[in-house]
Structure 1
């Protein structure tokens, strides 16, 4: 059977020859008794066994995963653990029971191997930043069923650990070198990023990784590792309007990841360099799924006061979108509160923004329109010196818009603004001549849109007027 088609239910129908494993001393007689008492039993019966002797079963499961390599058996034990945790996720705490202090519970899933070459370990193992160290364990070397279950189980175990554990090894009292939670988190993040880049399963690789991240990004160390692994940019393309149930769930969990990252400053700085914000706004504008709208609104509320996000939100029309959302019938009171807070925050942001801040954001985003400031003489007189910032960055961006934009409105406004720059800046003509503006504007003289042609002509007239005036003075 294709491993990708395996399910927990199908795997649990297998008959595993535990007696053979006991005869070869791969499991103990006690382990055999526990397994035979547990497997193929009703959920209520297994629940009682776990309530009475849960840590003992965890010890058996972990030891089998560590000592037995036969794929069918590994799949079976992972299915047992998956069934146990799916029925009650709180059972993940059993892995951290004090009686297991000397058990390396993470080792079977993800650990380090040192002193081997990558050729010896095989292509499925990934070299880490440590010299001659590699991630090994079921998460990296197993088939998809094994990887998927290991990922899910690891995430639950990690999140259930006592917070006092920090990054200390499980079982620190032992002389044996244990797998630390620090190593596990870093290795798991690396695997998750690998899935987002090149998924092991074409349909389930990415959703599995995102779902796991939505759980793990509550951990500060995971946020830090994820940003360092350049993972933020891998999430942005997944933020797009969704229609099917599966795609809506993926969208929701992706946005949940972004929301968790919005509490982490280095991640926010990274988000500012991607197209995450316009994607979030497009989703909140078109989505009808309440949980998706809620998590996006909460994310936008977090990002609003940071960097230039507020100005970008205004430019992207978020105040109007919030008004439309508020008029809809939402059942979630938290969503209504978040919309009200976002609305107030946007109003405060608009009040704080100077006219030049608004203009600058408009230009940098390339969303030029005939807003009042373009034709306001007072705006140009008061702000013309601001155009000198960053080596005339705004002027250069306006010229870039002439080269790259296909929007007639943006082209027309850019031509008009360049003509205004010539008129109001003492050295405007010379600066634009040095930046080779004439040829770029001339190309638009024959544009099919009359608004573009009209404003390109105005810009050229002012450029030539300067040249003629200079010639007149020289004569």
Structure 2
């Protein structure tokens, strides 16, 4: 049979010549005794053995995978481990027992990801993800979290995680199995992306762009699970700033919105809504969400009968965040309209520090169009109030934008403001002076002089 289509049950029906392996010194007498007790026994009997002496069996399995390369035997031992962990995933903790501190428990699985047939690769990936997720969080990077007294080289957690990410990306680019490789890779990825080092490695490996094509409305049960786990990966990446910066360039928002509009699965909707929440305050995501009609979609979702309280809470928070975003957008839109009309007045937004703090980067739109119009107003307007407000707004821009002074100076505003220092209107001269002070001395000194 094609190894790619083997099942765990089919593999476990084999008879492995353990005695021959002991005769050839590939396993020890102790290993043979443990294997005779365990192999071909009932599930309840094996469960008792693992409860009594689990780490010893883990050592036997790891040693066989390390020292024996016969494909049928490697498949058999991987099937035994898979069966053991499927019955009780908490048994993955056995791989981190202190008695195994000198055993390189990860190396065989990491190596088999690249060396074996698809059955071996799939089982190694699944097992590796489980034992990685079960490991105790420690300061050092050793496999079992203990300082090793052994002279053997022990694979570090960093090496394991980076090697696993490399294999996962390879599967997403060129699957080893037509139907199972991508779901297996995504399932494993969703389990290990909780690790900061995995997020970093995945971004550096250019893995994010491999996820984007998988985000589309799904219909079959298998495709819904794949979609959910892919969206789960994106949600986990949304906690990592470099990943968000990359995601902002991928056009991911329309895809996620299509998913949330068409999906009836609560878990899919929940993970996408939580992702939107994380995206909302970042870069231009908020403005894009408003443009794509997400506020109306959220209202529609809130009207549906969801049973998940976390989802309902997340929808309410997202709705509130989008509402605030709309307010900010509309306040800057109003400001733009006022500036473009060329007639300024002391409306509240001019002296509102929150308006300037939240909208300062919007001034960069269209090559600083609004800033250029403000500067042009200094030449073209004869209205004292308009001139005073324009000078004040320029001083606010200088104060709030990280490169404000340099930008305003480059746009030749200094000469225009200097002319207004001798204006007949006191309000104009006061605000022109404030603008010049901030232009020359910076906000701190300008505030001091103004006081």
Q: TM-score, normalised by structure 2?
A: 0.74
Which residue among 370, 381, 385 is the counterpart of 2:341? 381
Aligned pair partner of 2:256 in 253, 273, 280: 280
Runs of 4+ in 1 over 2 A off after TM superposition: 168-173, 354-359, 377-383, 386-394
Residue 3 of structure 1: aligned partner: 3
Q: How many residues align?
A: 355
After superposition, the C-alpha distances for 1:373-405 in whole angstroms (9 at most, x for unaligned) are 9xxx7574369xx999577599xxxxxxxxxxx
Tell me the CA shift for residue 168 of structure 1.
2.7
Correspondence 1:457-468 to 2 at 5 A: none
Name the structure where helix makes up a greater proportion of residues: 2
Match of 1:223 in 2: 199
Alignment partner, residue 13 of structure 1? 13
Matched, 1:28 2:28: yes
State how far apart, in whole Å, the 2-side matches of 1:63 and 1:357 are: 68
Matches of 1:42 and 1:381 in 2, distance apart? 84
Q: Which residue of the partner structure matches residue 253 of structure 1? A: 229
Q: Which position in structure 2 is the counterpart of 1:143? A: 117
Q: Which of 195, 199, 215 lines up with 2:171 in the alignment?
A: 195
The correspondence of residues 334-373 of structure 1 with structure 2, limited to 5 A, is: 334-354=310-330
Aligned pairs for 1:323-338 within 5 A? 323-338=299-314
* Cα distance between partner residues in 2 of 1:387 and 1:91: 54
Matched, 1:64 2:40: no
- Give CA-to-partner distance per residue, 1:270-316, whole Å, 9 cap, x none: 11011111111110011111110011011111111111111110010
Q: Note the 1:73-152 alignment, pairs <5 A.
A: 73-110=73-110, 137-152=111-126
Instruction: Supply the distance in 1 between the matched residues of 2:97 and 2:309 (Cα, whole angstroms).
Output: 39
Please report how far the alpha carbon of residue 43 of structure 1 lies from its aligned counterpart in structure 2 after TM superposition: 1.3
CA contact (8 A) 1:355 1:379 kept: no
Distance 1:387 1:70, change over 3 A: closer
Q: 1:316 maps to which residue?
A: 292
Contact 1:55 1:100 in 2 (8 A): yes
> Secondary structure in 2 aligned to 1:176?
coil
Give the distance between the partners of 1:221 and 1:167, measured in 2 at CA: 11
Q: Deviations over 1:161-211 (max 9, x none)?
A: 110154234462211111111100000000000011111111111100000
Please, which runs of 5 or more residues in structure 2 have no aligned partner?
Answer: 344-360, 370-376, 380-451
Task: For 1:251 and 1:238, locate their aligned partners in 2 and report how far apart those are by CA, in whole Å.
Answer: 7
Instruction: Check the 8 A contact 2:142/2:154 in 1, yes or no.
Output: no
**1:271–1:382: structure 2 CA closer, same or farther, 3 Å change rule?**
farther
Would the aligned equivalents of 1:301 and 1:338 in 2 still touch at CA under 8 Å?
Answer: yes
Matches of 2:126 and 2:206, distance apart in 1? 22
Cα distance in 2 between the residues matched to 1:256 and 1:169: 26
Cα separation, 2, equivalents of 1:219 and 1:203: 27
Distance 1:306 1:22, change over 3 A: same
Cα RMSD of the aligned pairs, angstroms, is: 2.6
In the aligned structure 2, how far is the partner of 1:334 from the partner of 1:280?
Answer: 19
Match of 1:403 in 2: none
Change (3 A) 1:348 1:356: closer
